[in-house]
């Protein structure tokens, strides 16, 4: 079986919960690893996603290590939508507005 892996980066501006885990991920940039397998027997090349991982930098006493948090494409999309909505709400609040003297 032939497989491939693709990597991409995603940045969240707020702490997010991804999937059903009770773990909250802090704002920052994360690497996404997607593994796919080649579907054989077709007259064209096609791949099927077999796994999606969020690469998380460990903090604290094990700083420098990376863990792979299994997730799904849908869970990532939901987390990104929640982050975007929270950022829009925060940016629209009065607390986020600049003082009048900075508008000159």
pLDDT at 23: 82
Q: What DSSP assignment string belongs to 34-93?
A: EEEEE-TTSSS--EEEEEEEEEEE--GGGTT-EEEEEE-HHHHHHHHHHHHHHHHHHHHS
- Is residue 14 in some structural domain? yes
- Is residue 86 in some structural domain? yes
Indicate the number of domains in the chain. Answer: 1
pLDDT at 91: 63
Residue 44 lies in domain: 3-91
Residue 97 has pLDDT above 50, yes or no: no
- Is residue 16 in some structural domain? yes
pLDDT at 77: 92
- Is residue 37 in some structural domain? yes
Distance between CA 22 and CA 91 in Å, rounded?
27
- Is residue 47 in some structural domain? yes
The mean pLDDT value of the chain amounts to 83
- Is residue 42 in some structural domain? yes
- Is residue 102 in some structural domain? no
For residue range 40-76, what is the model confidence (pLDDT) as tens digits?
988 999 999 999 999 988 777 777 788 899 999 999 9
Q: Residue 82 burial (CB < 10 Å; 0-12/13-18/19+)?
A: middle
- Is residue 103 in some structural domain? no
The segment with the largest mean pLDDT, out of 11-25, 33-47, 83-97, is: 33-47
């Amino acid at each position: 079986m032939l497989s491939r892996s693709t990597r991409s980066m995603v940045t969240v501006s707020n702490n997010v919960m991804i999937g059903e885990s009770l773990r909250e991920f802090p704002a920052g940039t994360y690497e996404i690893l997607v593994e796919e397998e080649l579907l054989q027997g077709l007259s064209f090349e096609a791949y099927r996603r077999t796994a999606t991982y969020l690469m998380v930098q460990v903090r604290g006493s094990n700083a420098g290590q990376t863990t792979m948090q299994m997730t799904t494409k849908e869970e990532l999309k939901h987390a990104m939508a929640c982050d975007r909505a929270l950022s829009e709400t925060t940016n629209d609040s009065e607390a986020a507005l600049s003082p009048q003297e900075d508008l000159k």
